[in-house]
Structure 1
Amino acid sequence: MKLVVILPLCALFIAQTTSSESCVCELSSSEPLFPHDTLKTLQDSASDCNGNITPQKSTEMESLLLGLERRLPQLEEDVLTLEKENDGDMYGALSLHVIKNEIVEIMQMIDKLNSTAMRYKTLSADTSEKLQELKTEMQELEAFDTLQVVKRQQANQRLKRDLDQCKNGLHPTIPPTKDPQSSCPHGRFMNVSGPRVYTAGEYPGSYKFGAWGRDPKPEPGKESWYWLVMLTSSNVFSNYVRLYSSQSSLIVGVSVPGNILIHTSNPTTNTVQGPNVVLYGGALYYNCYNQDSVCQFNLTTKTVTTLKLPKGTRYNSKGNFCNVDECYPYTDLDLATDESGVWVVYTTTQDFGNMVLSKVEEGQPPTLGQTWRTSVYKQGVSNTFMACGILYATRYVSKDVEEIFYSFNPATGRERFNLGIFINKMAPKIYSLNYSPVDQMLHAYCESYMVSYKVQFEPIDNFYPVFV
């Protein structure tokens, strides 16, 4: 005899004989069916809450308020300085431009703070209402837990949490050691003079975006060489670096070494994206095409290795440098060199647009070293460079003047917003700015022109600690 049994839940059996060959048992239950659809809906709602309320979002207001707190006293100080020292001529005009830019940046921060506060207020109200609904529905579902499994799980979780707290209390966290104070063999950064070089090179007016400079750690026999990267596709991409055996060769446009190809196609995987490029130790460092990564192209082996930046890094023209009127496309990642090696400046979603500085350690592939976070908004900056381990940032003052207004010392964590070092421009916009520790020059690429400036350091004893 074949027996078929249907058992949804326990309850009352009613047996019926349908034939001499089979027997069917029906089982009915007096207990209500568990609402699986309701549980699935609650799980989805809880996931939405977890996605909307994150630890990173909770710190956004604090970051904006901190940035505003630091900028307002600086604005007040600049206004007082203008009132005391205004000569009614050149100095006053430049100071007014500086103050105007500071006010615009502060207003942008206030607008963002207001919009963020309103958005979070709405999010908080909606989330609070949803959590109350979830709590009520979960209490209703607990009625189905006749064996009290959920209550036992909650008790176990509380015990585990208490046990973890006891363990952590026995092993306190050791505070990290502080970095040594940075020192500069040239002295203290004081001023910029020039321009010393001003040339259109081989292709006058042809390529608006690019970068150029010298290798701070050149290969033997290439100590006097210069490099040039022009964005030859859509003013965004490039697939080669062009080399010159001397400064005079660069100026007259004679490239004896010629082009070193990264790839035959442009753009494609691991070719150059954006103008912020540097050469160090015979390798080109740049923003990889369509990636939140730094590419390292070895000019000798013709190989490319990549360094993935932290999750949330803004790329593809979402975290650019800007002036008051516009942003410079695909300047999300700014590579920089100085006496100590290669650095990268960028921003992430969790830093809410503020600049982040990381050390790039040489290797195959390169690795990401220590990282520092600043309180300066990246879109309030037009360019950055490194010199003697110090990060410097510029901003647009006028079509003739750029200001080095900001510095950050990774060794001390100190930020300054009032440097007041002005650069006389040969074109309205500087799309890339590289410091060369070989000759203490700033190399700027300005709307297809190559311009260099001499960095002036205060003549003090060698290896004097620089507190900037």
Structure 2
Amino acid sequence: MKLLAVLPLWALFTVTQQKAPSDDCRCELISSEKQFPYDKLKAAQDAALGCTNTVTPKKSAALDSLLLGLSRRLPQLEQDVGMLEKEDDGQLFGVLSLHVIENELAEIQQMIDKLNRTTTESDHLSENVAQQLENVKEEMEELEKFDTMQVVKRQQANQRLKRDLDQCRNNEVIPTIQPAQLIGGTCRLVNITGPRVHTAGEYPGSYKYGAWGRDPKPEPGKESWHWRVMLTSSNRYAHYVRLYSSLSSLIVGISVPGNVQIHPSNPTTNTIQGPNVVLYAGALYYNCYNKDAVCRFNLTSKGVTSLDLPKGTRYNSKGDFCHLEECYPFTDLDLATDESGVWVVYTTTQDHGNLVLSKVEESEPPKLSRTWRTSVYKRSVTNTFMACGVLYATRFVSKNTEEIFYSFDTTTGKENFKVGIFINKVSSDILSLNYSPVDQMLHVYSDAQMLSYKVLFQMR
């Protein structure tokens, strides 16, 4: 009986071992989705990159400059011809006037020829790029069909939200300071666009005279700070500089950290006289009160040092910026900044009222280094600014337009009286302007309003 019981158990064990499942498990996945065409996506990306590299702001700026220059030269030619018709004596005067008009016609013809070439190139460029963009658009619409989970649509919605947020921040991103190759006349100003920023700040309609801008050499942690100086006493004096932690704060009128006071009284020794002031490396440079001197006020130490200008320098509104209808009071000294530091523009009795330019060294106390003399009369100028070691001067054209008509290159010593770059104004008088190399913007104070214009350069 025992033997019979054992045999079936052994047989059962054997059978069980033979039927044990295998360790390997395989399954076949069948997808209903089409294979994504990565080669088509790569081709579309390359085509879009080609469009971006082909169409550049420099090409459109060249066309705009030619059109603007031509629109200004033609009325001037018409005036010259009209004057010749009225005053021609048939002899020497007529010959000279005809020679001038002949030169103007030749220059205008050159501009027209260049404009025709540029326009033809732009037309061909527009047609080619338009067709390429249409092809890319069709290709991307075809590729979106593979996006069954609508990932692309969500990304596009996120990009729109991000773009709107960036616009609200209003240039809150801190740009990097421009590289050193812009210093010393290696770049040429070719156009001004804008205004990009236009605000009355926290005092709408108040304080007609003043200045504002950014520090081209800010202290660490203060890269986004902006400053404003308002002439609060008789449109002539100021005794503090007002600071803002960002451009947005300035626009909405929230001054943090607030005012930094030079002196509790106004006016008195070392307070500001005139609107043409600048901030550089944490120090405010301005025309000292009732003196032919530049004051430097350190915003951290609150100390003031001064720099006496050459004997004969005109001050106390004896050498102002002017145009035919009026002069801007107490603009004898104009402080300016660019990539290389601080400059001062003034005039002297020895120079018969012509512009004089000097470089201000950051020594203690500050001192003048080199000085350049120009042949442009200061009272025919409404304002000046520096960029890339070049002095630029403006003049009043109309209530809506200011012209950058003159330049002086400190590297070569060359003067140019036909710069011909125009600024679109929102108010009649530009009372101070200064170039900021931090963001390559021209900061303008115009009848209590603050504006910024983008400066476009061409590398030499």
Q: TM-score range by the shorter chain?
A: 0.5 to 0.7
1:361 equivalent to 2:361? Answer yes
For 2:247, the equivalent position in structure 1 comes to: 247
Alignment of 1:158-197 (within 5 A): 183=184, 187-197=187-197
Tell me the CA shift for residue 448 of structure 1: 0.1
Structure 2 residue matching 1:379: 3-state secondary structure: helix
Any runs of at least 4 consecutive aligned residues in structure 1 with deviations exceeding 2 A, and if so which? 85-100, 181-185
Q: 1:309 to 1:87 in 2, by over 3 A?
A: closer
Structure 1 residue matching 2:300: 3-state secondary structure: coil
For 2:456, the equivalent position in structure 1 comes to: 456
Tell me the CA shift for residue 457 of structure 1: 1.1
Tell me the distance in 2 between the aligned counterparts of 1:274 and 1:298: 19
Deviation digits for residues 17-48 of structure 1 (CA, Å, limit 9, x no counterpart) = xxxxxxxxxxxxxxxxxxxxxxxxxxxxxxxx
Checking the alignment, whether the CA contact within 8 Å between 2:185 and 2:409 is kept in structure 1 is no
Q: 1:86 to 1:455 in 2, by over 3 A?
A: closer
Deviation digits for residues 286-312 of structure 1 (CA, Å, limit 9, x no counterpart) = 000000000000000000000000000
The percentage of aligned residue pairs carrying the same residue is 70
For 2:447, the equivalent position in structure 1 comes to: 447
Q: 1:199 to 1:96 in 2, by over 3 A?
A: farther
Checking the alignment, whether the CA contact within 8 Å between 1:86 and 1:92 is kept in structure 2 is no
Tell me the CA shift for residue 183 of structure 1: 3.9
Tell me the distance in 2 between the aligned counterparts of 1:328 and 1:205: 18
1:386 equivalent to 2:403? Answer no
Structure 2 residue matching 1:190: 3-state secondary structure: strand
Alignment of 1:64-463 (within 5 A): 92=74, 183=184, 187-458=187-458, 460=459
Tell me the CA shift for residue 363 of structure 1: 2.0
Tell me the CA shift for residue 189 of structure 1: 1.1
Deviation digits for residues 71-117 of structure 1 (CA, Å, limit 9, x no counterpart) = xxxxxxxxxxxxxx9999776458879999xxxxxxxxxxxxxxxxx
For 1:117, the equivalent position in structure 2 comes to: none
- In structure 2, what residue type is equivalent to 1:413? G
- In structure 2, what residue type is equivalent to 1:429? D
Checking the alignment, whether the CA contact within 8 Å between 2:241 and 2:260 is kept in structure 1 is yes
Structure 2 residue matching 1:300: 3-state secondary structure: coil
Tell me the distance in 2 between the aligned counterparts of 1:400 and 1:95: 21
Segments of structure 2 that go 5 or more residues without pairing to the other structure are: 1-66, 83-181
Tell me the CA shift for residue 370 of structure 1: 0.6
Tell me the CA shift for residue 188 of structure 1: 2.3
Deviation digits for residues 52-75 of structure 1 (CA, Å, limit 9, x no counterpart) = xxxxxxxxxxxxxxxxxxxxxxxx
Alpha-carbon RMSD: 2.6
Tell me the distance in 2 between the aligned counterparts of 1:99 and 1:409: 33
Deviation digits for residues 120-147 of structure 1 (CA, Å, limit 9, x no counterpart) = xxxxxxxxxxxxxxxxxxxxxxxxxxxx
Q: 1:387 to 1:319 in 2, by over 3 A?
A: same
Tell me the distance in 1 between the aligned counterparts of 2:69 and 2:335: 39
Structure 2 residue matching 1:373: 3-state secondary structure: strand
- In structure 1, what residue type is equivalent to 2:292? D
Q: 1:262 to 1:86 in 2, by over 3 A?
A: closer
- In structure 2, what residue type is equivalent to 1:367? K
For 1:43, the equivalent position in structure 2 comes to: none
- In structure 2, what residue type is equivalent to 1:372? W
Tell me the distance in 2 between the aligned counterparts of 1:222 and 1:193: 27
Tell me the CA shift for residue 410 of structure 1: 1.4
Tell me the distance in 2 between the aligned counterparts of 1:337 and 1:312: 24
Tell me the distance in 2 between the aligned counterparts of 1:389 and 1:233: 34
Q: 1:267 to 1:96 in 2, by over 3 A?
A: farther
Structure 1 residue matching 2:357: 3-state secondary structure: strand
Q: 1:241 to 1:361 in 2, by over 3 A?
A: same
Tell me the CA shift for residue 324 of structure 1: 1.3
- In structure 2, what residue type is equivalent to 1:262? I
Q: 1:301 to 1:88 in 2, by over 3 A?
A: closer
Tell me the distance in 2 between the aligned counterparts of 1:287 and 1:334: 8
Q: 1:310 to 1:245 in 2, by over 3 A?
A: same
Tell me the distance in 2 between the aligned counterparts of 1:96 and 1:312: 42
- In structure 2, what residue type is equivalent to 1:446? S
Tell me the CA shift for residue 197 of structure 1: 0.4
Q: 1:389 to 1:96 in 2, by over 3 A?
A: farther
Structure 2 residue matching 1:349: 3-state secondary structure: coil
- In structure 2, what residue type is equivalent to 1:313? T
Checking the alignment, whether the CA contact within 8 Å between 1:98 and 1:397 is kept in structure 2 is no
For 1:178, the equivalent position in structure 2 comes to: none
- In structure 2, what residue type is equivalent to 1:242? R
Checking the alignment, whether the CA contact within 8 Å between 1:97 and 1:397 is kept in structure 2 is no
Asked which structure has the greater CA Rg, the reply is: 2
- In structure 2, what residue type is equivalent to 1:202? E
Structure 2 residue matching 1:290: 3-state secondary structure: coil
Segments of structure 1 that go 5 or more residues without pairing to the other structure are: 1-84, 101-180
* TM, length-normalised to structure 2: 0.62
